[in-house]
Homo-oligomer: A and B are copies of this chain.
């Protein structure tokens, strides 16, 4: 059977990914190196993700605020590990004016101190925190920011790794290590719930090994999801920063007993990368499949107009169906329905919406008008599988149908991760074999997650790098048994997830 996307996932997964983005009209490259244009359907998904996550962030007591886009160069230098991690590739503003010289515009007005376009905002937000925090009564300070950030990446891929991207970054300050660690864990849980409930991803949570930590963090927790090519996607991270950034930014407070101490801070973020994760988790060879909770429209109505004389009655009927269905609720909000009135063949429209991944398509034609019926297609079923029903039946069942689709995508993601997670690999040779394609000329989809014994060390990190592998996380769930590290053979009671990653 032919598919709407060429190549298929099996034929060439990276190229399939690009083609789905194109076919679903999600985003495209821009003339600015590494920066993308997020098109309306792609941005609509991000808006849905934002709305869901923002609600959860506020429900856990955080408030949104906004801090400057620019960071003075000297701020970046305040935290040693941080500057090491972020000074490498960033956009540097050096001038504040353009003037015409010999018919050409040239930068003038050199700044005394260059400004960095924020790659992350610990240092500039820390400056505010140092003013806002005076006493233990000011703690905890729980702030979140939705914004754009820039990291001058050399190799970019739409949504997954772009020079500019959109994200939220939470920044909090606490009186004690215990409270800051509790916050770090809480926000990881919030991420996991958002990813699983709204995005229908299946994520593993745990801690990063030392060499994979955020620059400047003492603990980095993460959500790792498995994509359909069985690679890992780091979908979100939550960091306990100890007192490192508090010392760098001078965030001090007077305790209840009158002593002065540095605060303990955290930071946590997820980005438009999540849209890439949704594509690679749920897409199939016909294009995108969108979980109803984050679909910009949950239902599209496609009027089929074989003859011009039908147009009036069919369009009128389509609006009637729309108003019946958009009165229904899904996940506490009214269902979002679009009537596609474009002047285009019904079959073409239908395939466009399949590729865009809209959860439910409803076709209405001249015969349906007279019989008060509709034809309903679900994106989680075969493209031609249809149900005939009355408007009343569609109205009565739409919320259930959307729930089923959401649940089916969740189950698919969970099955994928469980099916391709191996816990029986005992040594380096087995590990290497598992991650080696049978046909190196045209590598098939292979590998997965390996849960195996791990002794945290630089040696492990380096050796894994040779195989283009990494430790994705040390899962929170540990059985406590002892065994030998897959890489070094050293005795250890820790198990980690080994995988290839985006």
Chain A 75-92 against B: per-residue CB contact (8 Å), 1 yes, 0 no? 111000001000111111
A117 within 8 A of B: yes
Q: How far is the CB of A83 from chain B (nearest CB, A)?
A: 7
Chain B residues with Cβ under 8 A from A131's Cβ?
28
Q: Are B70 and A44 in contact (CB under 8 A)?
A: no
Chain A 167-191 against B: per-residue CB contact (8 Å), 1 yes, 0 no? 0000000000000000000000000
* CB closest residue in chain B, given A35: B68
CB within 8 Å of B: which A68-121 residues: 68-73, 75-77, 83, 87-99, 105, 107, 109, 114-117
A335 within 8 A of B: no
In Å, the complex CA distance between A107 and B72 comes to 12
Given A73-B105, A147-B148, A152-B96: A68 in contact with B117 (beta carbons within 8 A): no
A459 within 8 A of B: no
A127 within 8 A of B: yes
Which interface residue of A70, A95, A117 has the most chain B CB atoms within 10 A?
A70
Q: Are B38 and A65 in contact (CB under 8 A)?
A: yes
Given A32-B71, A65-B38, A69-B150: A97 in contact with B89 (beta carbons within 8 A): yes
In Å, the complex CA distance between A99 and B152 comes to 14
Chain B residues with Cβ under 8 A from A32's Cβ?
68, 70-72, 115, 124
Chain A 325-351 against B: per-residue CB contact (8 Å), 1 yes, 0 no? 000000000000000001100000000
Q: Are B72 and A127 in contact (CB under 8 A)?
A: no
The contact of A72 among B31, B87, B143, by CB within 8 Å, is: B31
Q: How far is the CB of A380 from chain B (nearest CB, A)?
A: 26
Q: In the complex, how many residues of chain A place their beta carbon closer than 8 angstroms to a beta carbon of chain B?
A: 63
Chain B residues with Cβ under 8 A from A284's Cβ?
none
Q: How far is the CB of A24 from chain B (nearest CB, A)?
A: 14
A462 within 8 A of B: no
Given A44-B64, A164-B70: A107 in contact with B114 (beta carbons within 8 A): yes
In Å, the complex CA distance between A88 and B63 comes to 36
The contact of A98 among B36, B68, B90, by CB within 8 Å, is: B90
* CB closest residue in chain B, given A67: B37
Instruction: Provide a sorted-by-A list of 11 A–B residue pairs whose CB atoms are within 8 angstroms.
Output: A31-B72, A31-B127, A43-B64, A70-B91, A73-B105, A88-B98, A90-B96, A90-B98, A91-B96, A92-B98, A109-B152
